[in-house]
């Protein structure tokens, strides 16, 4: 019998779980930041204390990604949703086309926004199959300004295992799997990621931009929507989200201390293997994504009988498990197992799934 507990096991897709050590350190900063006598919530973004934070955050991003000075690292606001239109505004010239792969709801939103600024060619899509796989058969047009992908699909539970080889700049929305595994970040022209999955709290968006793409569109843009503005001002053109950047920096510190991307990838693979094994073997549940494309971040599964949904969610609640209800557009269940999710929480979820199967036997 699964025992109830006061501890919450947070499987939410986002805002998502963060390391306990980060919470503890951040809470100290809220009360007295770096012995300044001020809270991190009230310090000036021009202060020497915050200058050390944003510089360390950038240095950690560069170290973990393995990128050099040919890339700019920015800490912006507006989430990936702002990047959906900011990217084409900055990179797509009048009359040019951009290539997009539609692998999920967030890809579709990016496509919609890009159409305001140029021609969009959707070169591959898994929409007709309810986004259950990552498209793999397509030709990338050499005359496109860039190719845009979404590396992980939070709603449908699919993830790129390898990335397209292309002669044009590759752009990726990595909001839900940034720094979850080692990849060659140097092969991308632009990467953006809302922080609220693996990097920190909502409120800051990490952008990694190859500098030779700055100003590519030739458009006259509002200052806040021009990448060059933020590159020139070191992400300090206006008051940045100080606290989210601070927590992001602490999270990257934690990630480095854990052994970096190789170590966290091993951790994520172990958790996912435990959960997917149970999904495949438990008669009460069935996975939604093609096995070869299953996400290590978001495991999506359905009940084999519709009437199982509410009793299983109730059992999870009793066990202190939160956030496993599936996205409203899909239904069923979704367990988001980001970097900070401990293996013990996944094992508890599996135990609850097994208990549920016994009660239905």
Quote the Cα angle for 331-336-341, to 5°. Answer: 155
Rounded to whole angstroms, what are the CA distances from 62 to 17, 57, 74, 198, 245? 23, 9, 11, 16, 15
Query: Under a CB-based contact definition with an 8 Å cutoff, are residues 159 and 272 in contact?
Result: no
Of 181, 197, 271, 325, the active-site residue reads 197
Query: Under a CB-based contact definition with an 8 Å cutoff, are residues 346 and 276 in contact?
Result: no
How buried is 122 (Cβ within 10 angstroms: 0-12 exposed, 13-18 middle, 19+ buried)? middle
CA-CA distance, 31 to 11, in Å (whole number)?
28
Nearest CA to 188 out of 65, 358, 23 is that of: 65
Tell me: cis bond preceding 15? Omega within 30 of 0 counts: yes
CA-CA distance, 317 to 156, in Å (whole number)?
23
Is 173 an active-site residue?
yes
Is 254 an active-site residue?
no
Query: Under a CB-based contact definition with an 8 Å cutoff, are residues 209 and 65 in contact?
Result: no
CA-CA distance, 111 to 118, in Å (whole number)?
11
Query: Under a CB-based contact definition with an 8 Å cutoff, are residues 300 and 330 in contact?
Result: yes
Of 173, 177, 226, 293, the active-site residue reads 173
Rounded to whole angstroms, what are the CA distances from 348 to 7, 271, 277, 285, 303? 12, 11, 14, 16, 18
Of 28, 55, 69, 106, the active-site residue reads 106
Query: Under a CB-based contact definition with an 8 Å cutoff, are residues 106 and 150 in contact?
Result: yes
Active site residues: 106, 173, 197
């Amino acid at each position: 019998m699964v025992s109830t507990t006061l501890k919450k096991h947070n499987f939410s897709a986002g805002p998502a779980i963060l390391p306990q050590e980060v919470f503890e350190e951040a809470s100290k900063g809220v009360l007295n930041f770096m012995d300044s006598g001020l809270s991190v919530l009230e310090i000036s973004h021009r202060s020497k204390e915050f200058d050390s934070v944003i510089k360390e955050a950038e240095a950690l991003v560069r170290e973990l990604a393995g990128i050099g000075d040919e890339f700019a690292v920015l800490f912006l606001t507006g989430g990936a949703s702002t990047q959906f239109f900011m990217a084409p505004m900055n990179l797509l010239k009048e009359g040019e086309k951009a290539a997009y792969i539609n692998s999920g709801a967030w890809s579709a939103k990016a496509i919609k926004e890009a159409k305001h600024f140029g021609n969009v060619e959707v070169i591959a899509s898994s929409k007709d199959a309810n986004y259950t796989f990552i498209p793999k058969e397509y030709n990338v047009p050499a005359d496109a300004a860039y190719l845009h992908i979404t590396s992980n699909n939070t709603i449908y539970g699919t993830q790129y295992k390898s990335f397209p080889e292309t002669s044009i700049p590759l752009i990726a929305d990595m909001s839900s799997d940034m720094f979850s595994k080692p990849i060659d970040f140097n092969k991308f022209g632009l990467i953006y990621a809302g922080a609220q999955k693996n990097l920190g709290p909502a409120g800051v968006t990490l952008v990694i931009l190859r500098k030779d793409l700055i100003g590519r569109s030739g458009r006259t843009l509002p200052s806040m929507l021009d990448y060059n503005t933020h590159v020139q001002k070191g992400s300090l053109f206006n008051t940045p989200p100080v606290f989210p950047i601070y927590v992001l920096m602490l999270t990257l510190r934690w990630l480095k201390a854990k052994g970096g991307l190789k170590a966290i990838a091993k951790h994520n693979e172990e958790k996912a293997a435990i959960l997917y094994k149970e999904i495949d073997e438990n008669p009460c549940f069935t996975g939604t994504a093609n096995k070869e494309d299953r996400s290590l971040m978001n495991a999506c599964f359905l009940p084999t009988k519709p009437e199982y949904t509410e009793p299983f969610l109730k059992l999870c609640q009793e066990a202190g498990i939160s956030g496993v209800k599936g996205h409203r557009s899909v239904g069923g269940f979704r367990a988001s197992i980001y970097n900070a999710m401990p293996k013990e929480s996944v094992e508890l979820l599996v135990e609850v799934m097994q208990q549920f199967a016994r009660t239905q036997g």
